[in-house]
Structure 1
Amino acid sequence: MAYRYATERRDDSDLGGGNVLYSAPGHPGFPVRLADELFQRAAARLGAAPFVLWDPCCGSGQLAVAAAMLHRDRLSRLLATDTDPAALSVAERNVGLLSGAGLAERERELRAQAAEFGKPAMVERADAAARLAERLRGLGGDLDGAVRRGDVFHPAEPERPVDLVLTDIPYGDLTRFSGAPPDADPVPALVRALAAVLPEHAVLAVTARTRKVALPAGVGALERVRAGNRAAVLVRAGDARG
């Protein structure tokens, strides 16, 4: 089945570069255009929207929140989980921006900083928050979101069935994951663990800074994507179960 996704050009800079979304040390931002493309490729493999989106390695939450901000009209819920308490505290702030109240507070914060420090860049970031609030209203308004502590290798079954997993594997030595299999690429085990708590129809889109994202032996990819120094794989949950 060939995928179909929108290719219109638009300015998504308000979501990038730490303009509005909060950042955390050690959790660099994810390219917004790639997040958009992967979401659309995965969504094209699913049935009718709305979907529940889950990022099980969410870090600061920028990837999931950017995708949700772009596609609010196709989502009913966002779930973000990670094992790092510091990252989760930032993710909670970013998921809070998926509401009019959260964006209004962020705009006020940025305008206060602009007045205090006299930096025009802060005014531009405040204006970006206002534009994102307008976009969110136009796509359906506030989105239900939850941030939880969770181990991707021993995930709890989500409270509501998840349709789409979108996640970026943390940089560096992947075996630093707690619960990762020793002396082996942990990504196949990660995919198996997630697939076990997902409905068969769900699609996982997994990215990493590598030449090719590994899948469990015998599991075929729906498709593979390369973008700069990142690789991504899309796989059906039902195909990835042990």
Structure 2
Amino acid sequence: MAYRYATERADHTDLASGHVLRSAPGHPGFPARLASELFQRALAHLDAGPVGLWDPCCGSGHLLAVLGMLHRGRLVHVHASDVDSEAVRIAARNLDLLTAQGMAERERELRAQAVEFGRPSFADRAGAAQRLAARLRAHGGDLPHSACEGDAFAPSPPQRRVDLVLTDVPYGDLAHWAGASPAEDEVPELLRALSAVLAERTVLAVTARTRRIGLPRGTRALERVRVGNRAAVLVRAGDIR
């Protein structure tokens, strides 16, 4: 049976970048509702079981952490990689929040800051950490995760199963391509590079702040989506030429 995706407007304040999840300069957060919708759309093109998820342009790891919180029961593992070593360090700390120990430590940190700085907002964030921890417990507990430095244009074969790649490519003044990226047509080259190390059935979902995302010539999209100023495309690795 196909997986049905939901688009209800739930309150995702607890998942905002810089609230409980740590933010990083130059690595903006990703809208939680859009992340959830794209994830569920991609699941509709995969088998029914839980999936392994990889973000090869992870930045602060916000996208993966959000999906881990919202869809713990649909995931067996999440992996983050980025060419920026500092981004990977922050991503690893955010992914640690997908465990009871990591979230408990974050809650204690926020409560200590509320006392030290006399700011009620930190106590509110600690309460959010409590709620997120309860959500994880209710939907499967600790989520296995990993983070490493890596160039998305020259990727190493994944060490664990990857069924789905979901990434928001760099854009504008907040983030930029680095590593072995080509001078132009970055997304088609990115898709070619990633598909070369993935199983043919793997689904790739890529978003960007643009009107339309280009694909390698001859490649058929599974779906195209537009939300606000973002475009997204879903494609199967075996269809990338």
> TM-score by structure 1 length?
0.95
Shift of 1:59: 0.4
Per-residue CA deviations over 1:32-81 (Å, capped at 9, x if unaligned) read 11001000000111002210000000000001110111111011100000
Is the Cα contact below 8 Å between 1:175 and 1:185 reproduced in 2? no
Which letter does structure 1 place at the counterpart of 2:151? D
Residues 75 and 3 (structure 1), Cα distance of their counterparts in 2 relative to 1, 3 Å cut:
closer
Q: Hey, what does 2:16 align to over in structure 1?
A: 16
Q: Flag the 1:137–1:180 CA change in 2: closer, same or farther, 3 A.
A: same
Give per-residue Cα distances to partners, 1:184-218, cap 9 Å, x unaligned: 21110100111111111111000011111111011
Tell me how far apart the structure 1 counterparts of residues 192 and 210 of structure 2 sit (CA, whole Å): 19
Residue 96 (structure 2) aligns with: 96
1:17 deviation in Å?
Answer: 4.0
CA distance in 2, matches of 1:167, 1:13: 21
Counterpart in 2 of 1:73? 73
Unaligned runs of 5+ in 2: none
Tell whether 2:57 aligns with 1:57: yes
Instruction: Give the secondary structure class of the aligned counterpart of 1:78.
Output: strand
Q: Which amino acid aligns with 1:137?
A: R
Q: Secondary structure at the match of 1:5?
A: coil
- 1:6 is displaced (CA, Å) by 2.1
Partner of 2:34: 34
1:130 aligns with 2:148: no
3-state SS, counterpart of residue 97 of structure 1: helix
Letter in 1 for 2:179: S
Q: Distance in 1 between matches of 2:107 and 2:35?
A: 24
% same residue: 63
SS in structure 1 at match of 2:97: coil
Please name the residue that 1:86 is paired with.
86
75-84 or 164-173, which deviates more: 164-173
Which residue number corresponds to residue 116 of structure 1?
116
Distance 2:52 2:9 in 1: 25
Q: Which whole-Å CA distance do the structure 2 matches of 1:7 and 1:185 have between them?
A: 31
Distance 1:26 1:17 in 2: 12
Q: 1:44–1:68: structure 2 CA closer, same or farther, 3 Å change rule?
A: same
- 2:105 alignment partner in structure 1: 105
Hey, what's the Cα distance between the residues in 2 that align with 1:69 and 1:86? 23
Shift in Å, 1:161 = 2.2
1:141 aligns with 2:138: no
Corresponding letter in the other structure for 2:57: C
Counterpart code for 2:163: D
Cα offset, 1:175, TM superposition: 7.5
CA deviations 1:147-182 (Å, max 9, x no partner) are 011110110010122001010001128984321222
Secondary structure of residue in 2 paired with 1:217: coil
Alignment of 1:204-223 (within 5 A): 204-223=204-223
Mark the runs of 5 or more structure 1 residues left unpaired by the alignment: none
Displacement after TM superposition at 1:20 (Å): 0.3
Aligned pairs, how many? 240
Q: Secondary structure at the match of 1:95?
A: helix
Distance 1:52 1:34 in 2: 19
Aligned mates of 2:118, 2:182 — CA distance in 1 = 51
Aligned to 2:179: 178
- Write the distance in 2 (CA, Å) between the matches of 1:114 and 1:146: 30
* SS of corresponding position for 2:76: strand
Q: Distance in 2 between matches of 1:42 and 1:172?
A: 26
